[in-house]
Amino acid sequence: MKRILVTGAAGFIGHAVAHQLLRSGCAVLGLDSLTSYYDVRLKQARLETLHDQPHFAFQRLDLSHAAATRAAFAAFRPEAVVHLAAQAGVRYSLENPAAYTSSNIDGFLSVLEACRAHPVQHLVYASSSSVYGANTKLPFAESDPVNRPVSLYAATKRANELMAQSYSHLYRIPASGLRFFTVYGPWGRPDMAYYKFTDAIYAGQPIDIYNQGDMARDFTYVDEVVEAIQRLVARPPADTAASDEEPGRIDPGVPHRLFNIGNHTPVPLRHMVEVLAQLTGRKVRCRLLPMQPGDVERTYADVTALREAVGFTPRTPIEEGLARFVDWYRAYHRCG
């Protein structure tokens, strides 16, 4: 039975990944600090869906505590690590930047050091489409320059990629970084636009749409993100000269890759609101506001590398994914 450690196991993507790994016959140790960035009750509810699984264990842990992180690795001896814990959110990084250096930089360093002390077959870690920053070339490709971040959050995720690259170079840690594009679906994060819009619709409140509505996102359904992660976990980059041309490879001779995980279909935010209005059967009022600091107008993933690496790319239409989310939202929040 393969042992896989999942950080951020109480998070949106993390708990879904843990479920899928357990279904596939793995033993999973979940780590999470259960921060109060959003309602902790939602995180606890996600964990409750995992607690009855016989091969799942959970430990509450702040990854920035390096010694405790190494101890967890030493006790569990994971064969692979899926590192999803992070301080998320672009706008919150304007209010509380220290949370991002603690979680995203110090926490990731602890994970890298633990992988160095207790070698793993594969470290898969979360990056973000935010690293593309002020890039205007579409679609975004992994080979594009990413030296123009427009938020501290984006800067920390790019720092993670560089940290992983250096540790892969120095200590031959096989690593794959995943640039997620606006992941959505049941059990999602309440700070994300689709969730906030749904909250507002059921509360009879207006929806705030920035940049006067001229925004588009490459919305990626969570189940397909999980599928991509599971496939990639099983295919670590090889540390041989013959593998230098494999998809996602960043630097010849270094077992580190980067992949866009996106639906490769930008959706205008206005259309997303129209779909939510149809699904909820409610009238929607919109307030068109200026662009917010740290935001970008459009995201659009080139997923060629992912398709070539694992023979899979996300493709769920926004209408289908949002229908599943609204069904879950009604059940979880007990609203009609």
Q: Which residues are catalytic?
A: 153
φ/ψ of residue 290, rounded to 5:
-65, 165
Residue type (1 letter), 265: T
Q: Report yes or no: 212 and 290 within 8 Å, Cβ to Cβ.
A: yes
Which tokens go with 207? Answer: 């929806």
Locate all alpha helices (DSSP H) within the chain, ordered by sequence: 12-23, 40-48, 66-76, 92-95, 97-100, 107-117, 152-171, 193-203, 222-233, 269-280, 304-310, 318-333
Q: Report yes or no: 100 and 93 within 8 Å, Cβ to Cβ.
A: yes
Q: Locate tokens 């692979």: which residue?
A: 80
Q: Report yes or no: 272 and 318 within 8 Å, Cβ to Cβ.
A: yes
Q: Count Cβ atoms below 10 Å from residue 160 Cβ, excluding itself.
A: 25
- Residues ≥6 apart with Cβ < 8 Å to 294: 90, 91, 93, 94, 150, 151, 153, 154
